[in-house]
């Protein structure tokens, strides 16, 4: 499905500012451009990092994020929004409530970034299901990887946790951290589990790959793809991204 410059959907990224542009809002906007959607970027945290080392970050609170959002939502019919690195569940709750109040038909994808690939930990989401349950049905997809999904379920196993979240909103469980079935993703939609197998046997690891997969799925949802098709297409896109070169910083291309 292709679009012209005149009718490209508007898509929003709320994410951290990564100076290396390998992850966060800069990476998302690059990804959106390749998908022929027009990307807006909202900063949720100012980070100090490279492609291999995360040093520190400064959080923006809900009011600062909403101040950036307000004029864009007022002027543009935004089709979809991806939310990445954000301070905590309370800030996420306030931002999503604002988004849905001002743009009820907006598609929302949440990528719960809990730890940088270098090991830097941001926050713990183990109680987030209880906190976010009232609004989860307003979210179209969450995209945790296996370690993130485990931390979001306390003592429950990863698939049990994904199933629990999927009773509220769909879950794309990213399989890049699996030892067995490496690269196999699982899409949970209520009682249905779709297994998305990798299309290539070997990949080159990349900084920000989880952000890119989520951004790609968001772009496809904005263009009217079904959830399963959006996730399937996004998986193909991320594999091209991972194998675009043999460094930690990938090239965006369809």
**249 found inside a domain:** no
pLDDT of residue 221: 98
Q: pLDDT tens, 188-199?
A: 998 899 999 998
**48 found inside a domain:** yes
**3 found inside a domain:** no
Give the lowest-confidence range in 11-15, 92-96, 146-150, 228-232.
146-150
Radius of gyration for the alpha carbons in the chain, expressed in angstroms and rounded? 17
Contact between residue 87 and residue 199 where contact means Cβ atoms under 8 Å apart: no
Q: What is the pTM of this model?
A: 0.93
pLDDT of residue 89: 87
**82 found inside a domain:** yes
pLDDT of residue 157: 83
Give the Cα separation of 205 and 22 in Å (integer).
12
Give the lowest-confidence range in 167-171, 173-177, 234-238.
173-177
Q: Is 159 exposed, middle or buried (0-12, 13-18, 19+ CB in 10 A)?
A: middle
pLDDT of residue 22: 96
Mean pLDDT over 161-167 rounds to: 92
**66 found inside a domain:** yes
3-state helix, strand, coil split of the chain in percent (to 5) is 40, 20, 40
Beta-bridge partner residues of 174: 145
**150 found inside a domain:** yes
54-59/10-17 β-pairing: unpaired
Domain that holds residue 97: 10-243
Looking up residue 27, the CATH number of its domain turns out to be: 3.40.1190.20
Q: Is 183 exposed, middle or buried (0-12, 13-18, 19+ CB in 10 A)?
A: buried
Q: pLDDT tens, 34-61?
A: 999 999 999 999 999 999 999 999 999 9
**225 found inside a domain:** yes
Give the Cα separation of 157 and 155 in Å (integer).
7
pLDDT of residue 252: 97
**5 found inside a domain:** no
Residues 6 or more apart from 44 whose CB is under 8 A from it? 14, 15, 16, 25, 59, 60, 65, 83, 84, 85, 86, 87, 91
DSSP character at residue 57: E
Instruction: State how many domains the chain has.
Output: 1
Of the candidates 94, 93, 96, the one whose C-alpha atom is nearest the C-alpha of residue 82 is 96
pLDDT band at 175 (very low <50, low <70, confident <90, very high): confident
């Amino acid at each position: 499905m292709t679009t012209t410059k005149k009718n490209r959907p508007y898509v929003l990224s709320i994410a951290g500012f990564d100076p290396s542009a390998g992850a966060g809002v800069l990476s998302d906007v690059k990804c959106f451009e390749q998908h022929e959607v027009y990307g807006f970027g909202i900063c949720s945290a100012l980070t100090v990092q490279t492609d291999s080392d995360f040093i520190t970050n400064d959080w923006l609170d809900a009011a600062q994020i909403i101040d950036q959002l307000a004029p864009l939502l007022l002027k543009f019919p935004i089709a979809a929004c991806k939310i990445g690195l954000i301070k905590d569940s309370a800030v996420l709750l306030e931002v999503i409530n604002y988004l849905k109040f001002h743009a009820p038909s907006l598609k929302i994808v949440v990528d719960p970034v809990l730890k940088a690939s270098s090991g830097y930990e941001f926050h713990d989401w183990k109680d987030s299901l209880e906190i976010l349950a009232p609004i989860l049905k307003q979210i179209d997809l969450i995209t945790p990887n296996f370690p993130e999904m485990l931390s979001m379920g306390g003592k429950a196993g990863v698939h049990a946790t994904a199933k629990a979240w999927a009773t509220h909103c769909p879950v794309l469980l990213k399989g890049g951290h699996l030892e067995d079935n490496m690269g196999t993703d699982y899409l949970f939609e209520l009682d249905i589990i779709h297994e998305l197998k990798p299309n290539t046997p070997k990949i080159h690891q990349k900084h920000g790959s989880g952000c890119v997969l989520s951004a790609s799925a968001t772009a496809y949802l904005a263009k009217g793809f079904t959830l399963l098709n959006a996730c399937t297409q996004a998986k193909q896109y991320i594999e091209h991204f991972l194998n675009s070169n043999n460094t930690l910083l990938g090239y965006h291309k369809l």
